[in-house]
Amino acid sequence: TALLTGKTAIITGAASARGLGKATALLFAEHGCRVAILDLDGDAAQAAANDLSGDGHIGLACDVTDRTACLKLASHVEAKFGAVDILVNNAGITQPLKLMEIAPENYDAVLDVNLRGTLYMSQALIPHMRARKSGSIVNMSSVSAQRGGGIFGGPHYSAAKAGILGLTKAMARELAPDNVRANAICPGFIDTDITAGKLTPEMRQMVLDGIPMGRAGEAKDVAGCALFLASDLSAYVTGSEVDVNGGSLI
Ligand code: NAD
């Protein structure tokens, strides 16, 4: 049965063809949800929206680090869809830097997209969700937040993703009385454009050896978790961080 019939969602950073946001958008649409894809390039966002099953999806340009743009886009999508029930803060960037290589502009860029963007887009939608006493916000963190590092992200990426966990819990606490939920997903090693082709076969094998399930995740593994957190199946789940990592932290 469809889990999101009649619902609407905004998913940020969902234009990237093999990305976690796009896989989430595809699955949400299959479950009857109308989706607005927001990404840096409006044409790419619209092209991604055109790939989704069903009608009425839209793709729009929005830089999540731009507070005015977030407010404008949130109002636009609210007006167009009548309501936005679900927000997936998925836009993110990484930089493979070591601690001492992080320049101020690196820190700003990674904190801005991952952490500030999550706050700005949430702030743009929260008043609407609160007024309706209903909403689900899903924030994309990372195993890098929990392990203090991953394969690709630097320490500033770990800091940004750990910041998302704190922000998610604080949001969940403050919004709970209004029946607006906030949860975080911590993906492990997932095959996407971020990860594809960037490791030698030997390095890839080393990574896989550290994963109890012995395989990389697929984007749809993360999408399934987002679907659960977005839908009423998780009606009593808020402030949680859900690991999608093949057992990487066991
Ligand atoms: P991706 O690079 O394929 O997609 C990220 C998208 O964000 C791109 O479409 C990009 O254009 C968009 N984006 C970048 N800056 C933006 C901005 N300022 N405003 C709006 N959009 C912007 O990456 P992905 O692998 O699909 O990752 C999606 C999310 O999951 C990210 O937050 C990432 O940090 C996180 N994550 C990924 C993995 C993994 O293994 N791939 C693991 C853990 C967490």
Q: Average pLDDT by consecutive 10-residue portion of the chain (250 residues)?
A: 97 97 98 98 98 98 98 98 98 95 98 98 98 98 93 92 98 98 98 79 92 97 98 98 97
**What architecture does CATH give domain 8-243?**
3-Layer(aba) Sandwich (3.40)
CA 29 – CA 215 distance, rounded (Å): 27
CA 200 – CA 249 distance, rounded (Å): 23
Give the nearest ligand 1 atom to 19 CA: 26
Which residue type, as a one-letter code, is found at position 82?
Answer: G
The answer, yes or no, to whether any atom of ligand 1 lies below 6 A from the CB of 193, is yes
CB 213 within 8 A of CB 246: yes
Q: What are the angstrom distances between the C-alpha of 50 and each of 26, 55, 76, 81?
A: 10, 9, 19, 16
The answer, yes or no, to whether any atom of ligand 1 lies below 6 A from the CB of 47, is no
Q: What residues act catalytically?
A: 157
The pLDDT of residue 192: 85
Give the nearest ligand 1 atom to 157 CA: 34
* Angle between helical axes of 117-132 and 155-175 (0-180°, round to 10): 10
CA nearest to 189, candidates 236, 106, 247: 247
**How many angstroms does the Cα of residue 13 sit away from the middle of ligand 1?**
6
The pLDDT of residue 153: 84
* Angle between helical axes of 67-81 and 117-132 (0-180°, round to 10): 30
Enter the tokens of residue 127: 């008043």
**How many angstroms does the Cα of residue 68 sit away from the middle of ligand 1?**
21
The answer, yes or no, to whether any atom of ligand 1 lies below 6 A from the CB of 246, is no
The answer, yes or no, to whether any atom of ligand 1 lies below 6 A from the CB of 153, is no
Please give the ipTM for the structure prediction. 0.99
